[in-house]
Structure 1
């Protein structure tokens, strides 16, 4: 790509400024210019109002809404390009780039901080009749010595999301902010090219732990920022120990990010639409500070932005980035994405990009490593270890299975268990994968049992075996449920359609006559697995995404949990809700499980606790089970009901005595990444756990103390 680079600084010996063409296909040039910076900065508030108004502007209102933006843009363009020397080099560079069939990357090095706060992205070329950044990628660059090479990344691109809402600042709807970014990334997450994980808290300590223990490529920050004029440095507002503001300088935040290995190459700063101080959240200054502190690239929203525009930008930006585009091209794609939200929107000028060095390609992204060749089928001879006659000690890891198919952390693992057995001996477990497939495994050998099951067109979120083991059901980001023959790996019938969003959970009734599916569309649907037909109408009541669903052992109850922080009970025969929602959790309910006798219901949550409920009364059964130091992703009862296992982001599997609520044994440690899924074998002699690094661990039997 051709580059046209301008350096802007104070002119020597005068109160004016100087612009210099330091690199272009057409040569160099220089000129001085004068601007009334205070008058231009005073236009930020009316520009902000114009941007938000433009998202709903009709054709008749467009001229009056756009006028302040175009007037400011014309003045900014004239400041840099009014001299014949600079303008001539620019026009010649454009022509040369067009002859080569290339875009012309326009690079600005704006050194005076008062000028850096101006929205140069609004520059309007009156002669050409268009905004510069609408036609060419526009980058704000911080020069550094030496060449910076792209980071080699095996997909997916891992994004750490941070929502900071300290007390005392404009309130943020944390759930809405999360849902907004997840909605923006739904397509690349479903395709397996992007992975998004939310920090459990926006404190210095929580972020540091995540940076030290996991690998991140991008940090996406949603919250408040400022620019300290006295110290000439940007500020980010994290959450302090007391829940109030912890003002962190951009330099300190860069030091924090360097705790990660490798350091994240990109930071995205997203001003929040719910904040009313957009004109003062000068993220452009913070972006420049972060890049000067060593971060390769920072994309920021220099004005408050509507939800629609933020979603459109993030979607197009991350899709472009995940497919190998330069970050400058990705920002340009984000602008084009915003254009599609409303016919006359001006919000495309809100994003600003700061780049350290010349290379806009931050990542060299390759597809996930191919899986090893399929293992022999289960009926073929395989080498097996001779068991110790005395049996392994409780909590002992019997086997580690490496290299489960590459995919996102939200995969689900299913091992034939009390309510969903696969054969009487529990010889098969299944993983639902981020590469749109399911895989069967032999837990005794750690080998694949046949080829991957293919057919879904999006990430597979969940899987469940029918009670007789003759069916395997799966739910996917493609919004469908599919049925499979585990013996042959072939799909059975057509996909079950009806959901309008990701299907996060599937569960068979104990008699196998019903299949339940829970979805991000906030509904549960019941299906006849023999015919694939929908039974009744969708079960509605949840006000957020439905994550887990489970039948009671006698099949008379169906439980569900979700993003609305509640557990709900249903009568599957009528589709009616039973009683009031079970409340007490303070964050997402990620997992639920009935005890084998049906007298207890366990739920695990992002609030780091497990709760036990009496499903007959809907009341809590004792106090919350505490011990996990991060989100609880999975809960499972042993077949005899004497042990409850839980797994979480803290990389541990924990064992509980459900009768007392006390630990039932030592924590099972060994995973080096967060653990997302658990299952007991039908005889209770095995416990399987799966972490985000695609490692399955098989543990020895455990019993309460």
Structure 2
């Protein structure tokens, strides 16, 4: 498999001078540096299936609710295809006016000529109130194309951090520390099945000495501390992978992961605490396979679990989700992801 090289299309969204108005600016693209002005009203919309075939259309709708202090998106079950396309095209057309679209297509053409793909890097750090929107749905109706769906045009959320990213030098195997947490007093998840499927997905990589999975003996914060201390100098881990429950505490404006206590009951660990625990362990990647692991405050882009690991733990890349996903989707993701990076 040939090495994949990406060029970046940096899309920064800023608040404009008037309330509820914004400016999207392109930086360092191969097609110039245009911008697009838009308002919150341009994004305020609700879509549902046009056929009326389902009993409760709202349960499958993407709903954006806006008030002066809060922007929130709610999902029921995974949206139908026309719902995703309708909402994604609204987002896309709001941002990509004629000049922005030309810059995007020229950047893609330039990358292709130079043997690379184009990565759309979306910086919402200055507009956290827009962070809950599903920007990954960006849909180009002219091409019938979800950009985030394809390896040639991934959409990633980008947060600037103070610490420089050092080159990763890995002596195989790639070592993955896995925390599998199922507190007895929390909702049931198929975490054991996910662990088994993860092991099966990377079996060939483990057999070839390319990757090594290490499951934390117990999902307590004390066990994590002890394991990281013992491995720090001799055999450091490269990837932190959490399987379990996640949540966002609106009152505390902080993401949380549910570890367990000594009795097996839920022990919420704040995003800030997690960042402190992982700070000195030189992880290069974190995979947070938990609901709302990427959700953050409408006032601060760095309060979510994923964002705190980037900013405060110094981990260069974090994979997480804002909304619920099915166990089947989580298992399929793990299988494909580790097969690609190891």
- TM-score w.r.t. the length of structure 2 is 0.79
2:239 is matched with 218
Partner of 1:29: 34
Q: Quick one: distance in 1 between partners of 2:168 and 2:64?
A: 39
Task: Give how far 1:174 is off.
Answer: 4.2
Please give the residue correspondences for 1:577-616 in structure 2 after superposition, counting only pairs within 5 Å.
none
CA distance in structure 2 between the partners assigned to 1:194 and 1:123 by the alignment: 34
Q: How many pairs were matched up? A: 296
Q: 1:30 to 1:174 in 2, by over 3 A?
A: closer
> Relative to 1, partners in 2 of residues 1:88 and 1:25: Cα closer, same or farther, differing over 3 Å?
same
Contact 2:108-2:118 at 8 Å conserved across structures: yes
1:172 Cα offset (Å)? 2.9
User: For residues 290-689 of structure 1, what are the structure 2 equivalents within 5 Å?
Assistant: 290-293=309-312, 294-322=314-342
Contact 1:160 1:219 in 2 (8 A): yes
Please state if 1:40 is matched with 2:61: no
How far apart are 1:104 and its partner, in Å?
0.4
CA 1:95–1:28: 2 relative to 1, 3 Å: same
Q: Is contact 1:117–1:282 with CA below 8 Å preserved after alignment?
A: no
1:202 is displaced (CA, Å) by 1.2
Which digits, 9 at most, give the CA deviation of each residue in 1:48-107, with x for residues without a partner? 433xxxxxxxxxxxxxx31111111112212321x2332221122112112223210110
Q: Distance in 2 between matches of 1:284 and 1:184?
A: 28
CA distance 1:257–1:282, change in 2 (3 Å): closer
Determine which of 110, 118, 131 is the counterpart of 1:116: 131
Q: For 1:217 and 1:226, locate their aligned partners in 2 and report how far apart those are by CA, in whole Å.
A: 25
Cα distance change of structure 1 residues 308 and 168 upon mapping to structure 2, 3 Å threshold? closer
Q: Distance in 2 between matches of 1:311 and 1:167?
A: 22
Cα separation, 2, equivalents of 1:176 and 1:118: 30
Of 265, 268, 272, the residue aligned with 2:284 is 265
C-alpha distance in 1, partners of 2:226/2:186? 25
Q: Is the 8 A contact 1:19 1:31 kept in 2?
A: yes
* Distance across 1 between alignment mates of 2:338 and 2:286: 12
Deviation at 1:9?
2.9
**Deviant stretches of 4+, over 4 Å:** none
Q: Which runs of 5+ in 1 are unaligned?
A: 51-64, 272-277, 323-705
2:188 is aligned, of 130, 149, 171, to 171
What's the CA shift for 1:128? Answer: 1.6
User: 1:148/1:183 Cα in 2 relative to 1: closer, same or farther (>3 Å)?
Assistant: same
1:87-136 deviation digits (Å, cap 9, x = unpaired): 22112211211222321011011123332222211111111211011231
User: Contact conserved, 2:190 with 2:327, CA < 8 A, in 1?
Assistant: no
The one of 59, 78, 89 aligned to 1:49: 78
Q: Kindly tell me: are residues 14 and 94 of structure 1, through their superposed partners in 2, closer, same or farther at Cα, counting changes over 3 Å?
A: same
Q: Does 1:148 align with 2:165?
A: yes
**1:90 alignment counterpart:** 104
How far apart are the structure 2 equivalents of 1:140 and 1:189?
31
How has the CA–CA distance of structure 1 residues 247 and 142 changed in structure 2, closer, same or farther, with 3 Å as cutoff?
same
Whole-angstrom CA distance in 1 between matches of 2:177 and 2:122: 28
Deviations 1:492-526 (A, max 9, x none): xxxxxxxxxxxxxxxxxxxxxxxxxxxxxxxxxxx
Question: 2:259 corresponds to which residue?
Answer: 238
Aligned residue among 267, 275, 291 for 1:254: 275
1:307 CA displacement: 4.2
Distance 1:20 1:232, change over 3 A: farther
State whether residues 211 and 259 of structure 1, in contact with CA within 8 Å, keep that contact through their aligned partners in structure 2: no
Q: Tell me if the contact between 1:240 and 1:246 (Cα under 8 Å) persists in the aligned partners.
A: yes
Partner of 2:307: 288
Which stretch has the larger CA shift, 89-98 or 201-210? 89-98
**Aligned equivalents of 2:13 and 2:251: distance in 1?**
21
Relative contact order higher in (CA < 8 Å, ≥ 6 apart): 2
Query: Is 1:15 matched up with 2:20?
Result: yes
SS at match of 2:75: helix
1:22-69 C-alpha deviation (Å, 9 max, x unpaired)? 2212221222212228942676424x433xxxxxxxxxxxxxx31111
Question: Structure 1's 106 and 207: CA in aligned 2 closer, same or farther, altered over 3 A?
Answer: same
Is residue 181 of structure 1 aligned with residue 211 of structure 2?
A: no
Name which one, 1 or 2, has greater alpha-carbon Rg. Answer: 1
Greater helix share, structure number: 2
- Residues 1:192 and 2:209 aligned together: yes
TM-score, structure 1 normalization: 0.40
The alpha-carbon deviation at position 149 of structure 1 amounts to 2.3
